[in-house]
Copies of this chain bind each other. A is one copy, B any other.
């Protein structure tokens, strides 16, 4: 199985701009990538990073500056017909070897791990004609595309894989359910769990505006 991790190296994680400065977003996204690569390696697979520009990381990388969908579709088209391809997003900071092993070992032409909000956070394709379309409700689109090429679809139901870390509300999930590089980065940056009106949030000891003064 080839396991590919797409990474957006240019201005990553813009929806975290309300809580993280641009340099911090880049550091945090690399910490999450490190966690994802470690979890994949612990399953015995050797991940490859598909990045929009060259990055300093200890893993094989392919640079493709195009948007996610055509870049991933080239990976799917160029794979060996008999070798499955897994696409695992780089911001799955809660991913564990156990849940990735479940993803990789689940039988099905196309195995999808839906993300919260309708995305597709991880998938395995064993069908030569399956292609991706990450725009919009990609989970529903991928179910349809698989159906169109006659591929069976199986869902992997996982909170860890459903949680892509995009917004400030997702940071609490990292603090609660991970002890990896991304969690350590957040704690070092001053984030901790706080309970406000019965809901859990990640709060920061120092506001970003103050820090940048």
Report B-chain residues with C-beta under 8 Å of the C-beta of A8: none
Q: Is A136 an interface residue (CB 8 A)?
A: yes
Distance between Cα atoms of A139 and B193 in the complex (Å):
13
Asked whether B114 lies within 8 Å of A159 as measured between CB atoms, the reply is yes
Q: How far is the CB of A123 from chain B (nearest CB, A)?
A: 15
Report whether over half of chain A's contact residues are helix, strand or loop; otherwise say mixed.
Answer: mixed
Of B139, B158, B169, B173, which is within 8 A of A157 by CB?
B158
Asked whether A176 lies within 8 Å of B136 as measured between CB atoms, the reply is no
Asked whether B114 lies within 8 Å of A172 as measured between CB atoms, the reply is no
Report B-chain residues with C-beta under 8 Å of the C-beta of A161: 159
How many copies of this chain?
2
On chain A, the number of residues with a Cβ less than 8 Å from chain B's Cβ atoms is: 28
Distance between Cα atoms of A209 and B135 in the complex (Å):
32
Report B-chain residues with C-beta under 8 Å of the C-beta of A177: 114
Of B137, B158, B159, B200, which is within 8 A of A195 by CB?
B137
Asked whether B163 lies within 8 Å of A117 as measured between CB atoms, the reply is no
User: Closest residue of chain B to A96, judged by CB?
Assistant: B157
Q: How far is the CB of A146 from chain B (nearest CB, A)?
A: 16
Q: Is A90 an interface residue (CB 8 A)?
A: no
25 of the cross-chain contacts (CB-CB < 8 Å) are A99-B157, A114-B176, A116-B159, A116-B163, A117-B169, A117-B199, A118-B172, A118-B176, A118-B193, A118-B200, A135-B195, A135-B198, A136-B195, A136-B198, A136-B200, A137-B176, A137-B193, A137-B200, A157-B158, A157-B159, A158-B158, A158-B159, A159-B159, A159-B162, A162-B162
User: Closest residue of chain B to A137, judged by CB?
Assistant: B200
Q: Is A160 an interface residue (CB 8 A)?
A: yes
Report B-chain residues with C-beta under 8 Å of the C-beta of A160: 157
